[in-house]
Amino acid sequence: MSLREIHSKWAGQYKYHNFMTNYKRLQKKIEEELSKPMNDSKNQNHTSLSPSTYNKKPPIKQDEPKKTSSGPVIPKKQPQWNTKYCLASSVLHELYMMPDSEIHHMDVNKIHQSSSLFSCYPLDKFTQYNKKMKERTANQRDKVKRENELFQQDKNLFPRPEKTLHGQPFWHIHPAKKLLKKDVKNKVHERMTPKYLRMTRSEYQEFDLRTFGKHVYAEAAKQLNKAYWQLRRNKTAMKIHREQTKKNKLEWGQKKKAKEVVELVSEWKDCNKNDSKE
Domain boundaries, the chain: 87-157, 171-224
- Stretch among 86-90, 97-101, 104-108, 263-267 having the lowest mean pLDDT: 263-267
Average pLDDT on 265-273 reads 59
**With 50 as the cut, is the pLDDT of residue 48 above it?**
no
**Measured CA angle at 176 (ends 192, 197), to 5 deg:** 10
Considering only CA atoms, which of 80, 83, 133, 145 is closest in space to residue 103?
133
- Residues paired with residue 67 on neighbouring β-strands, in sequence order: 72
pLDDT of residue 199: 94
Model confidence at 176, pLDDT cuts 50, 70, 90, reads very high
- Helix (H) or strand (E) segment spanning residue 71: strand 71-72
pLDDT confidence bin for 217, thresholds 50/70/90: very high
Q: What are phi and psi of 175, to 5 degrees?
A: -65, -15
3-state secondary structure of 172: helix
Mean model confidence pLDDT for the chain: 77
Distance of alpha carbon 27 from its chain centroid, rounded? 56
Q: Residue 42 has what pLDDT? A: 47
Tens digit of each residue's pLDDT (9 = 90 or more) over 183-214: 999 999 999 999 999 999 999 999 999 999 99
Residue 157 CA to residue 163 CA, distance in Å, equals: 18
Residue 16: what pLDDT? Answer: 81
Spatial neighbors of 138 by CB under 8 A, at least 6 apart, are 96
pLDDT at 264 over 70: no
Distance CA 259, CA 265 (A): 10
**Distance (Å) of CA 225 to CA 112, 221, 222:** 44, 6, 6
CB 89 within 8 A of CB 82: yes
Q: Using the predicted structure, report yes or no on whether residue 67 has a pLDDT greater than 90.
A: no
Report the range of poorest mean pLDDT among 152-156, 206-210, 234-238: 234-238
**What pLDDT is stored for residue 54 in this prediction?**
46
